[in-house]
Amino acid sequence: MKEQKIVVLPGDGIGKEVTTWGKKVLETFSGKNGIRFTFDEALIGHTAIEATGNPLPDETLQKLKASDAVLFGAVGHPKYDNDPSLKVRPEQGLLKMRKELGLYANLRPIRLFDELIHASSIKPEILKGADILFFRELTGDVYFGEPRERRDNGNVAVDTMIYSKMEVRRIAKRAFEAARTRSKKLTSVDKANVLESSRLWREVVQEMAKDYADVEVEHMFIDTAAMKLIKDPRSFDVVLTGNLFGDILTDEASQIAGSMGMLASASLGDQTGLYEPIHGSAYDISGKGVANPLASILSVALMLDISFGLKAESAKVIQAVEQTLKEGFRTRDIADATTATDKIVGTDAMGEKIIK
């Protein structure tokens, strides 16, 4: 029996509520197919700052580096959102973790379950069949660029948008490879009409396209992409973009799937893989038992497939989600105002249904 070390990082707010269920789903596969999962928990974010003063304690980082996969919840607390002067912040833990683990490729599949077609505010006839795989670059761009500072006695603020050819190439390679296994269409999103870093991005993707002659490549400006995502989501298949544009576009794209509570992601590099919902700590609903655990559970489906090659088990998780939705069970965020047949359940009841 091969042991695989999973580090669970619940983090803050609903992160704790949803990872509980991601972990329980993972446990159901332990001890089968020659793989046993062992679990360890660690601190990150606001919770870690409160306990140690550090949003990513060394102990956490050491555990992460020794792990085979990470199940992460979310970080963030309203205290920091409303006080920009606080110097030690939860999201520093998240950014440092991505950088330290070299997690440069963030995969965000946008899957619309048929049962949720009315949960979205987009018209069903525009949505039907939408299926997009985003590749968001995760360790570069304006999130990490230097200098980042205040000037002129604090009256001017500077961030730096920066990309190297190497950074674009390695994420583009993953997107091209994925396009090959799907509909062979790749949309690269940038702002090359205005930004130098985007011109470099486009140059690299154009260059690489020669080696992937079987993939149809389309270059699109971020503003157009934001519009087309709502107007005609089915025109996208694999989307490749930078850190900032990807952050914004995938939140927008969550509305294709019905809710932020439905979207899973995988962050990959050369070492361990990290799996997390795309949503944050959602303090507006935290502690109320209403958070949708499906994004965390679907992140486990990605983990089973990508980190452990357990494709059938991964498909089983997705099937369980499909079945549960078919039976009419909905957390509040995906309930359909137009049907009376939805059975509204909380986080735990939804988790139990999936396990069953």
Q: Which of 70, 62, 50, 53 minimizes the C-alpha distance to 5?
A: 70
Indicate which of ligand NAI, Mg ion, none lies near residue 286 (CB less than 5 to 8 Å, by partner kind): none
- The one catalytic residue in 23, 104, 141, 143 is 143
Residue 15 vs 57, nearer CB to Mg ion? 15
Indicate which of Mg ion, ligand NAI, none lies near residue 260 (CB less than 5 to 8 Å, by partner kind): ligand NAI
223 flagged as catalytic:
yes
Round to whole Å and give the CA distance between 130 and 197: 30
130 near ligand NAI, judged by CB under 6 A: no
Interacting residues of 141 by C-beta distance below 8 A, sequence separation 6+: 161, 162, 163, 197, 242, 243, 244
100 near Mg ion, judged by CB under 5 A: no
**Residue 342 annotated as binding site:** no
Round to whole Å and give the CA distance between 350 and 330: 7
Angle separating helix axes 294-306 and 14-27, nearest 10 degrees: 40
Indicate which of ligand NAI, Mg ion, none lies near residue 241 (CB less than 5 to 8 Å, by partner kind): none
Q: Which of residues 253-272 bind ligand NAI (CB under 6 A)?
A: 260-261
Angle separating helix axes 294-306 and 311-326, nearest 10 degrees: 160
Task: Please pick, from the candidates 210, 284, 337, 356, the single residue that binds ligand NAI as defined by CB under 6 A.
Answer: 284
Tell me if the bond preceding 147 is cis, omega within 30° of 0: yes
128 flagged as catalytic:
no
Contact window for ligand NAI (CB under 6 A) among 96-104, 106-114, 150-158, 276-284 = 276-284
**Residue 136 annotated as binding site:** yes
The H helix count followed by the E strand count for the chain is 13, 14
279 near ligand NAI, judged by CB under 6 A: yes
Alpha-carbon dihedral angle through residues 221, 224, 225, 226, given to the nearest 10 degrees: 120
Round to whole Å and give the CA distance between 162 and 136: 15
Indicate which of Mg ion, ligand NAI, none lies near residue 261 (CB less than 5 to 8 Å, by partner kind): ligand NAI
Q: Which of 117, 138, 137 minimizes the C-alpha distance to 127?
A: 117
Residue 233 vs 277, nearer CB to ligand NAI? 277
What the block records as the tokens of 190 is: 């940038």
Contact window for ligand NAI (CB under 6 A) among 55-63, 154-162, 282-290, 318-326 = 282-290
Residue 218 vs 247, nearer CB to Mg ion? 247
Q: Which of 105, 156, 154 minimizes the C-alpha distance to 133?
A: 105
**Residue 247 annotated as binding site:** yes
Contact window for ligand NAI (CB under 6 A) among 23-31, 53-61, 138-146, 283-291 = 283-291
Q: Which of residues 238-257 bind Mg ion (CB under 5 A)?
A: 247
Q: Which of residues 6-65 bind ligand NAI (CB under 6 A)?
A: 14, 18
Decide: helix, strand or coil at residue 309: coil
Residue 221 vs 283, nearer CB to ligand NAI? 283
Decide: helix, strand or coil at residue 155: coil
- The one catalytic residue in 81, 131, 159, 251 is 251
Residue 62 CB coordination number (10 Å): 11
Interface residues with ligand NAI (CB under 6 A) are: 14, 18, 74-77, 81, 91, 94, 260-261, 279-282, 284-285, 291-292, 295, 333
Q: Which residues are annotated as a binding site for Mg(2+)?
A: 223, 247, 251
Interface residues with Mg ion (CB under 5 A) are: 247
Q: Which residues are annotated as a binding site for substrate?
A: 98, 108, 136, 223
Q: Which residues are known to be catalytic?
A: 143, 191, 223, 247, 251
